[in-house]
Amino acid sequence: MTPADVLKLADEKNVRMVDLRFLDFVGIWQHFTVPRCELTEDLFEDGLGFDGSSIRGWQPIHASDMIVLPDPSTAVMDPFMEVPTLVLICDIADPMTKEGYSRDPRFIAKKAEKYLQSTGIGDTIYIGPEPEFFIFDDIRFSQGSDHSFYFVDSVEGIWNTGRDEGPNLGYKPRHKEGYFPVPPTDSQHDLRTEMCLVMEDLGIVVECQHHEVATAGQAEIDMRFESLLKMGDQLMWFKYIVKNVARRWNKTVTFMPKPLAGDNGTGMHTHQSIWKDGKPLFAGDGYGGMSEMAMHYIGGILKHAKALNAFTNPTTNSYKRLVPGFEAPINLAYSSRNRSASIRLPMYSTSPKAKRIEVRFPDPSCNGYLAFAAMLMAGLDGIQNKIDPGDPLDKDIYGLSPEELAKVPHAAGSLEEALDALKDDHDFLLKGDVFTQDVIDTWIKYKMENEVKPLRLQPSPGEFELYFDI
């Protein structure tokens, strides 16, 4: 779609307002809105200014002026605004040079795609994430010098079987038994269907939707794979849609990896494959029907996994999910069918086009542009250096002896460990200037100063339970 096409679309849809959106460093959509009269072809060339110092992890106040440059190919109508509103996803640029801003996650994703093409290895990386999330009916939390608490509730929560709901009708999924029951146990089928239909109206291809394993409204909606940049855009629309549809139903959605104790956390298994000239490159006659290139890509992911965790699992809460001894895929191994390995080779189809790897440790708290780009760079490093991923792990990991299990490396055990790993292992990200040293340093500093260190200082309710009577 060209700028002229966008103007034509705006006229056809009787657009009154234009919403300009971009992603902050951490991964939250930001926006500001201008009237239709501001939408001209010049806007796509000249952009509009804003204060970059007010965006998390971006400019200092003495160099705060930035501009947004709308991408005309992203133009769609907002499905929630009362007034006809056209949405444009924007790139961020320096107002003087018009060069892309190094800390703009979308710019990093674009550079990752260009780097892939420059290597000659392939021309397209396809990404297929499976974002999970919880749909709650109530959420309250507060932290102060004199208190700390959170409270979540869901009409589906198994803890509510005894609550007077006037009347309580039961059918609440037990812990770890929420996978695939039909209604009425699955009470949110119509809600998820509405989410899917809104996505389809915006051009997102949905493959399936279902209740996930946990009680209390854990859900999953799968999108058809797309190229890296487009999937980064789609993931932002995905989060926007599910949150706003839930709001219509007077419910709320969270992508926190571990909002409930004692039940499954929320992951985002991410399927990946490289193509060239319209042909898949991960299909072959090796293990699991994979090519040597695919094996080396896996080797790169496994080698750099702990550093990748800093982007794929970027919250302290992420490591309440990635815990040894449970079902989370912390074991840095690969297998054709073993879902306890951190990389799985899906065996649903023998078609070469379906051959892909599934990286299972990411979670949906991540900034998709950064996480997808980082995994691509790790995989390319594996291909370029012919990194051997070792032997597959087809045994039941939970049946291994302590001696056998000790030989299987693990993903990072905390955000601080992941950030330390990134500090020591990031040269692979700097290739092609995809990630800059400034981006790496700023990411580590921001996460340490704003998340890791503050939470060290805050007592938790669990600590009162354990230690108050000491």
Going along 188-307, which residue ranges are E strands?
Answer: 206-211, 218-223, 226-227, 252-254, 268-276, 279-280
Exposure string (b/e) for 379-410, b if CB count within 10 Å is 16 or more?
A: bbbbbeeebebeebbeeebeebeeeeeeebeb
Helix (H) / strand (E) containing 440: helix 437-447
Q: Is 360 a catalytic residue?
A: yes
C-beta of residue 366 within 8 angstroms of C-beta of residue 314: yes
410 SS3 class: strand
Q: Is 358 a catalytic residue?
A: yes
Marked catalytic residue, from 11, 51, 207, 404: 51
- Tokens (6 digits) for 263: 């039940």
- Tokens (6 digits) for 48: 């509009």
Q: Is 12 a catalytic residue?
A: no
Q: Is 416 a catalytic residue?
A: no
Marked catalytic residue, from 103, 106, 304, 360: 360
Phi and psi at 124, nearest 5°, equal: -145, 135
Please state, in angstroms and rounded to a whole number, the distance separating the CA atoms of residues 252 and 53.
30
C-beta of residue 446 within 8 angstroms of C-beta of residue 25: yes
- The CA-atom distances, in angstroms, between 26 and each of 139, 228, 370, 439 are 22, 18, 9, 12
Q: Is 132 a catalytic residue?
A: yes
SS (H, E, C) 90-135: EEEECCCCCCECCCCHHHHHHHHHHHHHHHCCCCEEEEEEEEEEEE
Phi-psi category of 386—alpha, beta or left, where left has phi over 0 and alpha has psi -120 to 50?
left
Q: Is 463 a catalytic residue?
A: no
Mutual orientation of helices 305-312 and 368-384 as an angle, nearest 10°?
160
Q: Is 164 a catalytic residue?
A: no
Q: Is 327 a catalytic residue?
A: no
Marked catalytic residue, from 24, 220, 416, 451: 220
Q: Is 21 a catalytic residue?
A: no
C-alpha gyration radius of the chain: 23
Marked catalytic residue, from 71, 137, 212, 381: 212
Marked catalytic residue, from 78, 130, 263, 451: 130
Please state, in angstroms and rounded to a whole number, the distance separating the CA atoms of residues 131 and 222.
7
Marked catalytic residue, from 358, 363, 381, 416: 358
Helix (H) / strand (E) containing 142: strand 138-144
Marked catalytic residue, from 78, 104, 132, 451: 132
Please state, in angstroms and rounded to a whole number, the distance separating the CA atoms of residues 125 and 110.
12
C-beta of residue 363 within 8 angstroms of C-beta of residue 267: yes
DSSP line for 343-404: EE---S---GGG--EEE-S--TTS-HHHHHHHHHHHHHHHHHTT----S---S-GGGS-HHH
Marked catalytic residue, from 207, 247, 339, 433: 339
Marked catalytic residue, from 21, 103, 192, 269: 269
Catalytically active residues, by annotation: 51, 130, 132, 212, 220, 269, 339, 358, 360
